[in-house]
Amino acid sequence: MENLNGKEGKIISINVSRKRSVRKKPVEKVKVLANFGFEGDAHAGNWHRQLSLLAIESIEKMRSKGLKVKPGDFGENITTQNIDLTSLNVGTILRIGKNVLIEITQIGKVCHTKCAIYRQTGECIMPKEGVFAKVLKGGEIKMGDIIKITEEKNA
């Protein structure tokens, strides 16, 4: 796939868990509910962090430090490829697949409790390189779906 300056990418993994603070398990497809998040995911709900996204490129950084990590291990709902998540601004709209629209609501997060990855390496990428979003329009997404920036907000 052509990388259009980080403005288009694809889904490498869709990850869900019924409990918070655990690694998420990959699924082939998922129903995304408007103003809620992934059906069956513990982080879904009526708040600003309905979905989390992390790039496979970020996960590769941790692998290069010797960690045996895979998509979902950082608690992200969607693992992306070829889209520069860290350059997005709050308010940016992404289209995932044919119908789903999400709006970036937060870049990074504060880690109040240090996860196992942090304790092992002294750092974790989700607080710096993960992004969070709310669902504007629901639908079904599947692995391999295209992610496009449809509206960018200026800093």
Count the domains in the chain: 1
pLDDT digits (tens, 9 = 90+) for 89-146: 999 999 999 999 999 999 986 555 555 555 555 556 776 899 999 999 999 999 999 9
| Structure-token pair, residue 31 | 């129903």
Contact indicator for 116, 16 with CB cutoff of 8 Å: no
- Contact between 138 and 32 under an 8 Å Cβ cutoff? The reply is yes
pLDDT (0 to 100) of residue 124 = 64
Does residue 2 belong to any structural domain of this protein?
no
Residue 1, domain member (yes or no): no
**CATH number of the domain that residue 14 is part of:** 2.40.33.20
Residue 86 pLDDT > 80, yes or no? yes
> Average model confidence (pLDDT) for the chain?
87
Structural domain harbouring 32: 7-151
Q: Measured on CA atoms in the order 62, 63, 64, 67, is the torsion positive or negative?
A: positive
Residue 59's H or E segment, with its range, is helix 56-64
Q: How many helices (H) and strands (E) does the chain have?
A: 3, 11
Report if residue 110 sits inside a domain. yes
> Which range among 37-51, 65-79, 136-150 shows the weakest confidence by mean pLDDT?
65-79
**In which band, very low, low, confident or very high, does the pLDDT at 5 lie, cut at 50, 70 and 90?**
low
